[in-house]
Amino acid sequence: MGRKARRVPRSREWCYEVVSDIIERNVRSEEEVEEGIGMETTASAGPGKSPRGYWIAVPFAAAWILSVMSWLGICSDGCEETHLYRIFGFPLSPLGVGYFTMCGLAFLTRNRFRFSGFLIPVLLSGALGSEFVLVWIQKYVIGRWCPLCVGIGLSVVTACVLIALERLPGVAARIRGGERNLEMKRLAGKTVLILIVFLAGMGITVVGLKKPDAFAAALPVTSLAFGDTESSSEVYIVTDWFCPACRAAEPEMLKGARKAMLQAK
């Protein structure tokens, strides 16, 4: 017969340590599982797939509708002066309609094409830079506010804020998940790209934005008269562009000038 194994007595403190260690391991495992599920859910949601992402469609639609209204001339008197401006010879309203149509298409295809999700913040950054210049022109050059233009600018700002609120939680989750260095490098690169596009939007608008003479387009270069050049009646309009009152009155003066040009020069 074999010898029976001798049981070694265990102390009460040792038993407490074993039980505590088992409980601690179980709690740690549950926390890791929950964190993994949360990160997986965030990752699977992706940019634009969270419920908050659908709210971005609201400012996109608002900017597009306001651009169409401006193109159709459905606006107040404050918009008339703004409509005289061109970007590289193109009217602002049609460009806005085309630009926000492209933004809308990128938003609608963001879950199907990865490039569309990348394109949305890039397009918004360029639009934000351009709107910054246009608002500055209205404030310090024209001296009057165009409600539709201001509404478009606010729509662009709102879309930028919603995009940031949608994507920041995913970035924070990846940083907490152990990808801090890699994620910070990606974030720095994207920030630099967005800043470059923002400055490019400002620069293109500053360089390309002009206010051509609305009456000289159909006249020869040597002509100094507008309207009916054969008329014996002559009308002279003298204003000071640096005078705030003259700038404010110019839209109404332009209306009167168009009527006067039918019978005078």
Which helix (DSSP H) or strand (DSSP E) does residue 54 occupy? none
Residue 177 has pLDDT above 90, yes or no: no
Query: Using CA atoms, how far apart are residues 172 and 39, in angstroms rounded to an integer?
Result: 10
What confidence score (pLDDT) does residue 35 get? 44
Listing from the earlier edge strand, what are the strands of the sheet with 209-210? 90-91, 86-87, 209-210
Query: Using CA atoms, how far apart are residues 44 and 61, in angstroms rounded to an integer?
Result: 26
**Candidate from 31-40, 54-63, 74-83, 152-161 with smallest mean pLDDT:** 31-40
What confidence score (pLDDT) does residue 48 get? 44
Residue 200 has pLDDT above 90, yes or no: yes
Which residue do the tokens 């400055």 mark?
Answer: 199
Which residue do the tokens 């999700």 mark?
Answer: 117
Query: Using CA atoms, how far apart are residues 157 and 39, in angstroms rounded to an integer?
Result: 29
Q: What is the mean pLDDT of residues 126-154?
A: 89
Q: Kindly report the backbone phi and psi dihedral angles of residue 90, in degrees, each rounded to the nearest multiple of 5, phi listed first.
A: -100, 140
Please give the mean pLDDT across all residues of the chain: 75
What confidence score (pLDDT) does residue 2 get? 47
β-partners of residue 209 are: 87
Residue 206 has pLDDT above 60, yes or no: yes
**Candidate from 18-22, 100-104, 247-251 with smallest mean pLDDT:** 18-22
What confidence score (pLDDT) does residue 11 get? 57
| Cβ-proximal residues to 132 (8 Å cutoff; 6+ apart), any chain | 201, 202
Percent of the chain that is helix, strand, coil (3-state, to 5): 70, 0, 30
- Nearest Cα to 55, choosing from 159, 178, 203? 159
Q: Where are the beta strands (DSSP E) in the chain?
A: 86-87, 90-91, 209-210
What confidence score (pLDDT) does residue 192 get? 92
DSSP 179: -
What confidence score (pLDDT) does residue 12 get? 57
The long-range contacts involving 208-213, CB below 8 angstroms and separated by at least 24 positions, are 208/86, 208/87, 208/88, 209/85, 209/86, 209/87, 209/133, 209/134, 209/137, 210/85, 210/86, 210/87, 210/89, 211/84, 211/85, 211/86, 212/84, 212/86, 212/89
What confidence score (pLDDT) does residue 241 get? 65
High-pLDDT (> 70) share of the chain, %? 69
- Nearest Cα to 120, choosing from 152, 160, 157? 160
For the chain, domains (ranges, CATH) are: 45-210 (1.20.1440.130), 214-265 (no CATH)
What confidence tens digit (pLDDT) does each residue in 102-118 have?
999 998 898 888 888 88
- Nearest Cα to 52, choosing from 155, 156, 168? 168
Triad 128, 131, 136: Cα angle to 5°: 130
Query: Using CA atoms, how far apart are residues 68 and 90, in angstroms rounded to an integer?
Result: 15
pLDDT class for 41, splitting at 50, 70, 90?
Answer: very low
pLDDT class for 127, splitting at 50, 70, 90?
Answer: very high
What confidence score (pLDDT) does residue 26 get? 55
What confidence score (pLDDT) does residue 40 get? 38
Residue 30 has pLDDT above 60, yes or no: no
Q: What is the mean pLDDT of residues 196-220?
A: 77
End-to-end CA gap in the chain: 132
